[in-house]
Chain A
Amino acid sequence: MTPFPQPLNGRAAPLLVDNVDTDTIIPSREMKSTGRTGLADGLFAPWRYLNAGERIENPQFVLNKPDHRNASILLGGANFGCGSSREHAVWALAEWGIACIIAESFAPIFRGNCVRNGILPVALDRAALDSLAGAELSVDLAAQQVRRPDAVYNFTIDPEAKQMLAEGLDAIDLTLGHESDIAAWTTADRAARPWVYLEHTE
Chain B
Amino acid sequence: MPQTLFDKIWAAHHVADTAAGAALIAIDRVFLHERTGAAALGRMSEMGRVLHDPARVFAVMDHIVDTRTGRGDGTLMPGGEDFITETRAACRKAGITLFDVNDRDQGIVHVISPELGVVLPGVTLVAPDSHTCTQGAFGALAWGIGSSEAEHAMATGTLRLTKPKTMRVTFDGKLAPGVTPKDMALHLIATHGAGGGAGHAVEFAGEAVTALDMEGRMTLCNMATEFAAMSGFVAPDQKTFAYLKGRRFAPAAFDEPYWTSLVTDEGVLFDKEIIIEADEIAPMVTWGKSPEEAIPVTEVVPQGAAKVHRYTGLAAGIPLAGTQIDVAFIGSCTNSRISDLRRAAAIVEGRRIAPSIKTAMVVPGSMAVKRQAEAEGLDRIFIDAGFEWRMSGCSLCFYAGGEGFPDGSRTISSTNRNFEGRQGPGIRTHIASPETVAASALAGAIADPRDYAQTGEAV
Contacts from A to B (Cβ < 8 Å): 18-19, 21, 23-24, 27-29, 31-36, 46, 52, 78-79, 82-87, 90, 105-109, 112-113, 116-117, 158-163, 171-172, 174-176, 178, 181-182, 185-186, 189, 193, 195-202
CB distance from B274 to the nearest CB of A (A): 17
A175 and B156 contact, CB distance less than 8 A: yes
Contacts from B to A (Cβ < 8 Å): 15-16, 18-22, 24, 26, 28, 35-36, 38-39, 42-43, 47, 49, 52-56, 77-79, 82-83, 86, 95, 97, 120, 122-123, 128-130, 144-149, 151-152, 155-158, 160, 162, 164, 193-195, 198-199, 225-226, 228-230, 248-251, 258, 290, 292, 398-401, 417, 419-422, 425
Q: Which residues of A contact B147 (CB under 8 A)?
A: 36, 87
Given contacts A19-B290, A196-B123, whether A175 and B194 have CB atoms under 8 Å apart is no
Most chain B CB within a 10 A radius of its CB, from A28, A163, A178, A199: A28
Q: Which residues of B contact A193 (CB under 8 A)?
A: 122, 258
B148 and A29 contact, CB distance less than 8 A: no
Complex CA distance for A78 and B292, rounded to whole angstroms: 13
Q: Which residues of A contact B39 (CB under 8 A)?
A: 34-36, 87
CB distance from B52 to the nearest CB of A (A): 8
Q: Which residues of B contact A36 (CB under 8 A)?
A: 39, 43, 147
B82 and A34 contact, CB distance less than 8 A: yes
B422 and A182 contact, CB distance less than 8 A: no
CB distance from B244 to the nearest CB of A (A): 10
Residue of A nearest to B90 (CB): A34
CB distance from A36 to the nearest CB of B (A): 6
Given contacts A158-B22, A159-B20, A160-B162, whether A116 and B422 have CB atoms under 8 Å apart is no
From the candidates A85, A107, A112, A198, name the one contacting B55 in the complex (CB within 8 A). A198
A85 and B128 contact, CB distance less than 8 A: yes
Given contacts A83-B419, A172-B47, A195-B250, 8 further A-B contacts (CB under 8 A): A23-B417, A23-B422, A28-B400, A79-B194, A82-B194, A85-B36, A85-B130, A160-B18
Residue of A nearest to B157 (CB): A182
CB-CB nearest 4 A-B residue pairs: A29-B401, A160-B22, A79-B195, A87-B146
Q: Which residues of B contact A87 (CB under 8 A)?
A: 36, 39, 128, 146-148
Given contacts A158-B22, A196-B120, whether A182 and B158 have CB atoms under 8 Å apart is yes
Q: Which residues of B contact A78 (CB under 8 A)?
A: 195
A32 and B78 contact, CB distance less than 8 A: yes
Q: Which residues of B contact A202 (CB under 8 A)?
A: 97
Given contacts A28-B399, A182-B157, A185-B15, whether A109 and B195 have CB atoms under 8 Å apart is no
B156 and A176 contact, CB distance less than 8 A: yes
Residue of B nearest to A180 (CB): B16
A116 and B149 contact, CB distance less than 8 A: yes
Q: Which residues of B contact A159 (CB under 8 A)?
A: 20-22
Given contacts A85-B129, A172-B155, A181-B15, whether A200 and B97 have CB atoms under 8 Å apart is yes
